[in-house]
Amino acid sequence: MADEILIVDDEPDIRSLISLILEDEGFQTVTAANAAEARELLSARPPSCVILDIWLRDSDMDGLEILSWCQSIYPELPVLMISGHGTIETAVQAIRQGAYDFVEKPFKAERLLLTVRRALHNRKLEKENAELRQQSGSNGQVALIGQSAPINQLRQQVEKVAKTASRVMITGPSGSGKETLARLIHDHSDRADGPFVAAACARLTPERADTDLFGSENLQYDRRVVGLLEQAHRGTLYFDEVCDLPLEAQGRLVRAVAEQSFRRIGGGSEVHVDVRIISASSRDLTQEMAEKRLREDLFYRLSVVSLAMPGLAERREDIAMLAKHFATIESSRLGRPAVKFGDDLLNAMRAYHWPGAVRQLRNVVESMLILANTAEDEPLSVDALPTEIRGVGGVEITGDNVINLALPLRDARESFERHYMEQQLQRFEGNISQMAKFIGMERSALHRKLKSLDIHNN
């Protein structure tokens, strides 16, 4: 998606020349001859960069005043100042006020293009760094790890969905990686160079939701409020737990989503944006609509494409790969040497039901690394797992799993094997492949064993 450059200059020939130079290099341009036109264009839609003349005839603001006004609305927007009457003092003042750079007229096309590209590249790096800080402060997941059938199917769906501009609704258990899936869609789309803005809907209170979403024209701390929709212009806006959006904000969002335009709170001009919206929820959306916590008209606008993120119980064969992936990340972050996982530990992990999904798995891996006291080359055993996971995972033989000591050895063994196989078959919901991998048998041998024990997989 081509970057859009706003050119503000009172000379038509200069505006035309700069536009031709930039458009020949694949940029889109819009132009303004004075401050009023510039403010109108900036209020309607934030560009990727502004080229601004310092001296403007027949204008109610000069370039430095427009720069200050622009900084109050879009503090991250790069502004390149140009002038045919420049002095060192003027250039220094412009840079101090927040301009990215200063170019004196007459300028060479190569110099102008180089400065514009540097400004855009610098802005992209700042956004990427901000997103990385946000990820490291939340779940830190940066990839869709695994080779199970559900995950491979999701990868194929991402390839198809990402190339479109369709809105997406992602469902799945809390902590399963719905934001990771949303980021993958963004990264594989033609918006990958644009921002990915994540909105935690539970934090959007009824009193602040409209301002947070749509922004405000009211000055606050000498800066206008830029809403989430504008922040995500030419990129993706991700709604985490969309059912938590206040109903009043949901009603206003319906129109904004459909028309890609809205008015800031207290504002008089229409703001136009180009935003792809991806939403997510861990709840039953049909029930949420029936109980009036999610508007039906908003749901149908947001659910053009539906994707389901599976829980770990549906992709047990990925657990070992995920655990090793998180161990590598956390070892580096904690400054600890890399660790190995023993087979007994991985088997116990595969058997556990993981109610907290991928997020819980990562927390457990981090905890084990912190508390580990094994030798450097010694793999972690099942004893490294928290007690509640060891017990629930079936590692300890207790309760119904106690062998009847009154039986002969052959009968006791057969009784234990039958009970063990029935429990494993139930735990893996009849999935012979996963069960065979867990208990360490070939599928054909497992089928024969189940047949000999007269156990049927219904």
**pLDDT band at 400; cut points 50, 70, 90:** very low
pLDDT tens figures, 200-225: 998 888 888 998 999 887 644 445 67
C-alpha closest to that of 135 among 299, 329, 314, 369 = 329
Sign of CA dihedral 189, 191, 194, 199: negative
Look at the pTM and tell me if it is higher than 0.75. no
- pLDDT exceeds cutoff 80 at 70: yes
- Domains of the chain by residue range: 4-129, 138-310, 313-392, 399-452
Domains 313-392 and 399-452 share a fold: no
Give 226's pLDDT tier (boundaries 50, 70, 90).
Answer: confident
Is residue 423 scored above 70 in pLDDT?
A: yes
Show contacts of 375-380: CB within 8 Å, 24+ apart.
376/337, 377/340, 378/340, 379/339, 379/340, 379/341, 379/342, 379/345, 380/339, 380/340, 380/341, 380/342, 380/345
Torsion of CA 264, 268, 270, 276, to 10 degrees: 0
Percent of the chain whose predicted confidence (pLDDT) is above 70: 89
Torsion sign across C-alpha atoms 278, 282, 285, 289: negative
Confidence band of 167 (pLDDT split at 50, 70, 90): very high
Q: Please report, as a single letter, which amino acid is at residue 234.
A: R
| Mean pLDDT on 225-247 | 92
Work out the average pLDDT over 223-249. 89
Q: Which CATH architecture has domain 4-129?
A: 3-Layer(aba) Sandwich (3.40)
pLDDT of residue 421 exceeding 50, the answer is yes
Q: What is the pLDDT of residues 325-344, one digit of tens each?
A: 999 888 888 888 878 898 88
DSSP H or E stretch at residue 296: helix 296-302
pLDDT, position 137:
41
Looking up tokens 């879009």, which residue turns up? Answer: 74
Architecture of the domain spanning 313-392: Orthogonal Bundle (1.10)
CA–CA gap between residue 151 and residue 409 (Å, rounded)? 44
Q: Which residue has the tokens 């050895």?
A: 409
Please give the average per-residue pLDDT across 239-251, as a whole number: 94
Query: What is d(CA 449, CA 446) in angstroms, rounded to the nearest whole number?
Result: 5
Within 10 A of 160 (CB to CB), how many other CB atoms are there? 11
Provide the pairing of β-strand 223-225 with 216-220.
antiparallel
Identify the architecture of domain 138-310 in CATH. 3-Layer(aba) Sandwich (3.40)
Cα(458)–Cα(445) distance, integer angstroms: 18
Asked if pLDDT for residue 63 goes beyond 80, the answer is yes
Tell me, which fold does domain 399-452 have in CATH? Arc Repressor Mutant, subunit A (1.10.10)
